[in-house]
Structure 1
Amino acid sequence: MDAVEVIKGGGPVVLGMPHTGTYVPQDVRAKLNERGRGLDDTDWNIHKLYDGLLPGATVVRAKFHRYVIDANRDPSGASLYPGQNTTGLVPLTDFDGNDIWDQPPSGVEIEHRRETWHAPYHAALKAELERVHALHGVVVLYDCHSIRSRIPFLFDGTLPDFNIGTNEGTTCAPVIAQTVEDVCGAARGYTSISNGRFKGGWTTRHYGIPEKGFHAIQMELAQSTYMQESAPWPYLHERADETRVPLADLLGRIDRLAREGVLG
C-alpha cells in the first residue's frame, strides 16, 4: 500500500487531503480496540465532495488512517493547540476522549510509522507544491478537512459549517483569506468563522510562507454539510451538491487570483 495518492494538475492550486484515508496495516489494526477499529475520526467522503470542483487542481491524498499516524501533526509531536483538548501525532484517544488502543504504540513504533507514512506524504506534498510554484511563480495549498459538528471533548456547542484557518492570517495573502471569507459568508443557509477553534493544522502552518509565494489555507467543514455524522457515515448527495456550490466558487476565485499575479 502506497502512503499517498497524487493527481497532478497544471493549475496553481493544490488540494491537500491528509485525513480521508482508511488504510490500517494489519499489525496496527490488531492493537486497536473495538472503538479504534471503527475509525470514527476519518474525514469521511472529503475526496468525493471535492472531486471535479476545480479542473486543473493537483490533489495530494494520504491513503493511511490518522490512527496509524496523523499526517496533519508536527512530526516532533508538539501540540497544535497547547492547553486545549486535541489528538497527537499518533492519537491515543478518539475525538470524544475515549481510548482507542488495546496496545498503545511505543516511541520506536511511532518513529517507524513517521518514516513509513508521515514522511512520504509530506515528501509528495512538498514536491507538488514546488512543482506548481515553478510553473506559476506562486502556489496555493488548500487543505481539505471535515469533522463532526458536535464534539464536546474538543469544543462547546455546534461548530460553524465553514471553519477557515490561516493561523491568524499568517499563512496566506490577505486577499485569499478575504475571498474565502466572503464566499462562505454569503452562502445562504450556512455559518462560517475564521481562526476559531480550528486555525489551520501543521500542514497549513508549515507550508504557508506567503512572502515566498507559498500560500496555505485550511477548510474544516462540519460534516453535517454533506453527510450523516454517524456510522456508516453515508454521503448525502442532495446536501453535498448544495455545499459543492460555494466550495467550487471559492476554489475558482483562488485559482483566478493566483493566475492573475496579484498574490506576489
Structure 2
Amino acid sequence: MLYDFQPGDTPLLVNVPHAGTELPPDVASRLTAKAGQLPDTDWHVHRLVEGAAGQGASLMRARYSRYVIDLNRGSDDKPLYAGATTRLVPTENFDGSPVYRAEAPDDGEIAERIERYWRPYHDTLARELRALRERHGFAVLFDVHSIRSAVPRLFEGRLPDLNLGTYEDRSCAPELQAAVADMLAGAEGFSSVVNGRFKGGFITRHYGRPAEGVHALQLEIAQSSYMDEARPRDFDPQAARPLTRLLDELIGALARWRPA
C-alpha cells in the first residue's frame, strides 16, 4: 500500500505526507548509511493526529519515505522556497550530505517514481477533497508536518514550536486562518508563528483554493516540542501528550468550522 486512508463524515481531511518510513529495496540498497536512517522523516506525526478519526475527520498518511519521492513538491520539481532546499526526489539530506552512495536517480527513474508513487497519492487526495466539497459544500485540508528544531542549512536559529502556513494568506479563508492562529498563540507552553519560514508547501499551495471551496492550512511542528531529537525513532506518548491534546482541540475546531 502506498498510503493509508480512513474516510470521515466532516468536511475536514487531515493529511500526513512525510511520516512514512518504508523504502522499496532498489532504493534502500543505494542510500548512504546516514540517509538509510531516514533523518529527515516527520517522525511520529501520524501518531500525533491519530485522534482525528474520532472527531469525524478523514485521515490520509503516506507509507513511503520522502526519500522515495517528496509528496509536498510539485511533479515539475519547481522550488518552493528561496535558498537551500531539497528536490522532488531528494539527492541531499537537510544538512547537505548526499542521499545516494553513487549516482542519483536519472530523469527516467524520477519520471517512473512520479507515476508509481506521486501521482496515485495526489489523485486520491484530489478525489477525496472533491468528494468532501460536493458533500458538504466546502472542504478543509489540514496538512501536518514536523522537522528538527534547528537545521542551519534551511533556516537560521531555532524554529518556533508551531509554524502555521497559509501561502501568505491565500490558501484559506481569513477567518479560518485567524481562528487557528489564535488557538496556537494561546497554547500554553508552545511558541508559534504564521507564515514564517514555512508558508505551506505544494499541497497547501495547490489545493488551497478558498474561492472554489477548498481551504488548506499547513502546520510544521518543531520536533523538540514532542520528542527527543537525539533519539528520533523513540516515541514517548507521555512527553507528546501536551501537543497531542492541543492538536485534538485544533482538529475538533477545524472539523466544526463552517464558512461565513
- Output the TM-score relative to the length of structure 1: 0.95
Map of 1:137 onto structure 2: 137
Map of 2:100 onto structure 1: 101
Deviations 1:82-126 (A, max 9, x none): x31111101111111111111311110001001000101101111
Deviations 1:172-210 (A, max 9, x none): 001111111101100111100011110000000000000
Map of 1:55 onto structure 2: 55
SS of aligned partner of 1:153:
coil
Q: What is the CA–CA distance in structure 1 between the aligned matches of 2:66 and 2:91, rounded to whole Å?
A: 11
Please list, as runs of the form range in 1=range in 2, the aligned pairs for 1:18-167 lying within 5 A after superposition. 18-53=17-52, 55-81=55-81, 83-102=82-101, 103-167=103-167
Question: Could you tell me how far 1:228 is from its partner in structure 2?
Answer: 1.4
RMSD (Å) for aligned C-alpha atoms:
1.1
> 27-36 or 213-222, which moves further after superposition?
27-36
Q: What is the CA–CA distance in structure 1 between the aligned matches of 2:116 and 2:37, rounded to whole Å?
A: 23
Percent identity at matched positions? 42
Q: What is the CA–CA distance in structure 1 between the aligned matches of 2:107 and 2:239, rounded to whole Å?
A: 42
Q: Which runs of 5+ in 1 are unaligned?
A: none
SS of aligned partner of 2:61:
strand
| Matched residue type, 1:59 | L
Map of 1:254 onto structure 2: 254
| Matched residue type, 2:154 | L
Q: What is the CA–CA distance in structure 1 between the aligned matches of 2:247 and 2:20, rounded to whole Å?
A: 21
Q: What is the CA–CA distance in structure 2 between the aligned matches of 1:33 and 1:171, rounded to whole Å?
A: 37
- How many pairs does the alignment contain? 258
> 201-210 or 223-232, which moves further after superposition?
223-232
| Matched residue type, 1:58 | S
Check conservation: 1:4, 1:124, Cα contact below 8 A: no
Map of 2:204 onto structure 1: 204
Question: Could you tell me how far 1:230 is from its partner in structure 2?
Answer: 2.5
Question: Could you tell me how far 1:232 is from its partner in structure 2?
Answer: 4.4
Q: Which runs of 5+ in 2 are unaligned?
A: none
Question: Could you tell me how far 1:235 is from its partner in structure 2?
Answer: 1.5
| Matched residue type, 1:240 | A
| Matched residue type, 1:256 | R
| Matched residue type, 1:138 | F
| Matched residue type, 1:198 | F
Map of 1:12 onto structure 2: 11
SS of aligned partner of 2:51:
coil
Q: What is the CA–CA distance in structure 1 between the aligned matches of 2:237 and 2:246, rounded to whole Å?
A: 15
